[in-house]
Amino acid sequence: MGRTPAPADSPGLAEAAAAGIHMLSIPTPFLVGRVNCWLIEDEPLTLVDTGPNSGKSLDVLERELGRLGHTIEDLGLVVITHQHMDHLGLLEIVVRRSGAEVAALDLLAPYLIDFGASAAADDAFAQTVMHRHGVPEDLGAVLGAVGAAFRAFGSSGRVTRPLHDGGWLELRDRRLQVAHRPGHSPTDTTFWDPERRILIAGDHLLAHISSNPLISRPPDGQPDRERPRALMAYLDSMAATRQLPAGLTLSGHGDPIADRVALIDERRRLHERRASKILGLIADAGEATAYEIATAMWGNVAVTQAYLTLSEVLGHLDLLAAAGEVVEQHEGEIVRFAIPANV
């Protein structure tokens, strides 16, 4: 099959292509838009993430592979960066057609065995969090129904090459260091090529939007918590990523990142500013639920994207609580936040 060079609209894409890593831009039905899958031309031929389970996404994936002179059947390895359906939905189809092995973080393997059941458990967990933090019952029910409808865009799969934090993914011509970087999801995984100084980051870092630290059900085998502190985990993960030598970052959405350190520093400042704004809202109101704070900050967006905005607010409330600037007050099953009396 004749090979057409990959588009190089940015220096970052050209640098990645020169290293044998090509971006495949796959459509999704979600607000985030297209997802970036990455083809590593090595042995085995490796696809990092697959796009969601839809006919349109599959058509584009096949076309993008064809542009590079390959087919799905040529793939020998599929790597999954994290548990979100826009990154793994075509896994079952791709593996069935190619016979490829599947590599993913060991914590992700149980989740993928039955994606539908795992996603349903996630939705039940989210319903509990929404109820405790003031989301109206009817809105929570609607969002639950939407979540159930979206599960079809995901896929189950069997991990044949479990990866471990700090370990290595070995290909013929390169070694990628595996790092567990939770925050955006509990299973976010990055892959660092020290020789080429390229980081394949999934949704851990995105150039144009902040990676949402969603409050998620802990992975199987991890300690159960009423509410994991997703933003605090994400800030720790970014601090670890910041220590890598400067180099190119290939993300799950949007353009490559040339200056990872500057982006991480700006993200930290963003979260500091947002925490300060939330503290001011609580001081003005006297006390508030997380949902009331979300609606004050984002208006109708806090209705249409209630869990996303709720996670954002709760993450910053966790930072404020850790600093002793807010406290939780329980009114039956509902949690409200207030300024401590001694502040």
DSSP string, 218-277: PPTTSPP-SS--HHHHHHHHHHHHHTSPS-EEEESSSS-BS-HHHHHHHHHHHHHHHHHH
Q: Which of 133-142, 154-163, 302-311 has the highest mean pLDDT?
A: 154-163
Which residues, including other chains, have CB under 8 Å from residue 297's CB and lie 6 or more apart?
A: 277, 278, 281, 309, 313
- Alpha-carbon distance of 213 to 318, in angstroms, equals 12
**Average pLDDT score, the chain:** 93
Mean pLDDT computed over 127-139: 92
pLDDT above 90: percentage of residues in the chain:
83
Residue 131: count of CB within 10 angstroms of its CB: 15
Mean pLDDT computed over 159-184: 98
Query: For residue 9, is pLDDT > 70?
Result: no
Tell me what pLDDT residue 149 has: 85
Query: For residue 97, is pLDDT > 80?
Result: yes
Residue 35: count of CB within 10 angstroms of its CB: 26
Tell me what pLDDT residue 162 has: 98
Q: Which residue has the higher pLDDT, 76 or 2?
A: 76
Question: What residues are paired with 169 via a beta bridge?
Answer: 176
Residue type, 287: E
Give the pLDDT band (50/70/90) at residue 343.
Answer: low
Give the pLDDT band (50/70/90) at residue 35.
Answer: very high
- Alpha-carbon distance of 130 to 48, in angstroms, equals 33
Query: For residue 280, is pLDDT > 80?
Result: yes
Residue type, 332: G
